[in-house]
Structure 1
């Protein structure tokens, strides 16, 4: 098992990519801490993971990643329970859609604070309180292909995910001296909790977008999780500062051309 007895934190792990990632780490022998802003959902995630029967310990923590004091208290709880943090997966994220000229300032601030500030707060505290003193650790940030290209009517989300990409590169440079690797994945369309909201609001747009994915379909959360585990593992021991698209070729096809060989574009 690649992560036997390692201590892994996954934020935003009540569903979608986060839950799939937490389960995958458990199957690989890790003790996993899952966080979510809603206590009931954090508890449900713990129960779901424990029912797998992998044997690793699972701890659920509820709170807002955009609140520094909450993050610091969560790190303290992890250190009290497990003594260290080996791997951090910054997955918590939200989206607010709307025309940029009409978007409420509080919606802008909320998305930036959760997606970008929350990632920094968790990385900062996990590194300063555990990884830097131990001279070891791996951080994987979950950005988005909207951190590489623009999305319509989603300015705060796009800005925040571009920020996560920049944060990944900056921390990878700053913390390499301590043996800490910092990488990011940029998921494309994935059957996650966020995409369910988009599908429900505009199913026609979702269908049209999925047709434009060169591989022909959106990703499953487990497909994103498998890449996260690779980047956190010793198999990627010399990978640092990488921003990896996991998108079925969506960013590669950024020219507005149709997908060759298909009649359903």
Structure 2
């Protein structure tokens, strides 16, 4: 299939393997997208991009610190120069600074907010500007912005104060972007992964080991999801199949938040 044929997509946080960003980039390329993936780890991102190209897809890796406005400007300018458009943005880059309230410093809190929330604002506002440009028909091109939140942005999870605050912020920021972009054909949705087997999840479990068993017991399906489960949701939201979906919360959690 070619569900994203002709679309230009940017995926942040694309170096980690297994990771949501790298898996999404691969999935998008399989469906015909011209993919740009960014990360602070340029070597890691380039390995993912090289794998995509080796499989016949189009992928370009770029260095980016998503907390840097200058980096956002540089990345968007590079895509604009090469493609002249942006159809899909996946704000995926994120970190997990976990710990009980009395162990999390103000610096830890601020770093979490900067990476997980402020970067989404910075990316969305730039993507909206590109997506509002007129196409051949004189109308705004539109596009799809996909913000990766978490089940921790929907429910309380012990040991996740700063993480939950950042992801809850992403949830509501998404709805504002959806409302402000709707008249220009810009859709914006949040994706809320549950327990997914990625590198960042491994780190999170180490930092929050005391609550691991209790958290796993909350998953009715009894096991962690795979990165492909999130990549496939991102693919749907990026595609024209989701053309009437905006401002929505797409939960992929094995039933964790159904209780």
Answer whether TM exceeds 0.5 for this pair: yes
Which position in structure 2 is the counterpart of 1:50? Answer: 53
Given that residues 79 and 85 in structure 1 are in contact (C-alpha distance below 8 angstroms), is that contact kept between their aligned partners in structure 2?
Answer: yes
- How many residues align? The count is 250
Q: Does the Cα contact within 8 Å between 1:66 and 1:118 map onto a contact in 2?
A: yes
Contact in 1 for aligned 2:99/2:160 (Cα 8 Å): yes
1:174 partnered with 2:175: no
| 1:184-199 correspondence to structure 2 within 5 Å | 184-199=190-205
Give the RMSD, CA atoms, in angstroms: 1.5
- TM-score, scaled relative to structure 1: 0.90
Following the alignment from structure 1 to structure 2, what is the Cα–Cα distance between the partners of residues 224 and 122?
20
CA offset at residue 155 of structure 1?
Answer: 1.1
SS of alignment partner, residue 5 of structure 1: coil
Write the mapping of 1:65-214 to structure 2, written as runs, cut at 5 A.
Answer: 65-128=66-129, 130-134=130-134, 135=140, 136-200=142-206, 205-214=211-220
Match of 2:30 in 1: 27
1:38 — aligned with what?
Answer: 41
TM-score by length of 2: 0.92
User: Secondary structure, in 3 states, of the residue corresponding to 2:192?
Assistant: strand
Query: Counterpart of 1:18?
Result: 21
Any conservation in 1 of the 2:96–2:204 contact (CA below 8 Å)?
Answer: no
Is the Cα–Cα contact under 8 Å of residues 146 and 162 in structure 1 kept in the other structure? yes
Query: What are structure 2's unaligned runs of at least 5 residues?
Result: 135-139
Q: Which runs of 5+ in 1 are unaligned?
A: 254-265
Find the counterpart in structure 1 of residue 224 from structure 2. 218
Could you tell me how far apart the structure 2 residues matched to 1:161 and 1:192 are? 17
Indicate the residue corresponding to 1:243 in structure 2: 249
